[in-house]
Chains A and B, each alone.
Chain A
């Protein structure tokens, strides 16, 4: 079954404790991306990747890191989480339309993160 998986689905942590949210896709997609969703602000892009070892900042990259060492995986790293990073996080992936960019995206189920 074609899917994007995220782990964990729910996480409560404390300020400053490093954490990683994993994202994996089984569709051989080139494009992968992380988003956060907050009430009243909607979805905002954190980082995206066009392929292995190629990552770029989105609209709200501060406080986050990513890596793309394998095509299927795109982990999101919060090295020193703060309460303002409490949010619902989505990973997504898609094929690329050559220079025209990503096709329709497949989204993971979301990770609800609370930082106290």
Chain B
């Protein structure tokens, strides 16, 4: 079962480019989380969204509840942004389902 679909699976960008990662889900949710997994394996939470848009530095996350879709944008990308970005949906029963991740490489 694939409650959460991410695209693209892999993404290579030149430094400075604007990047968009997409997440679509098929179930009713109470919130959506974006995570970043570093090359060393550590996982950091970037955003939690229930509606609208959030911004933190060069990262912007949006969600459209009606369309069951979220996007993560990175402006002025930098090699240090190279990581795997993971979308996770929180169901009303407090259970999480995850996308398989988008592997981003930013080339200097």
Q: Which residues of A contact B (CB under 8 A)?
A: 31, 33, 35, 40-45, 48, 50, 56, 58-59, 88, 90, 92, 100-107, 109-110
Contacts and interface: CB of A to CB of B under 8 A. Distances in A.
A101 B45 CA distance: 15
Interface SS of B by simple majority: strand
Interface residues of B, number: 25
Given A101-B90, A102-B90, A105-B33, A42 B99 contact: yes
Contacts of A90: 43
Contact of B45 (A48, A104, A109): A104
Nearest to B84: A42
Given A42-B100, A48-B94, 9 more contacts: A31-B94, A45-B95, A56-B93, A59-B97, A100-B30, A104-B47, A107-B42, A109-B42, A110-B41
B41 A101 contact: no
A107 B31 contact: no
Contact of B95 (A59, A103, A105): A59
Contacts of B43: 90, 92, 107, 110
Interface SS of A by simple majority: strand
Contact of B42 (A42, A102, A104, A110): A110
Contacts of A106: 45
Contacts of A50: 94
Contacts of B101: 42
Contacts of B44: 107
B63 interface: no
A105 B45 contact: yes
Nearest to B87: A42
B86 interface: yes
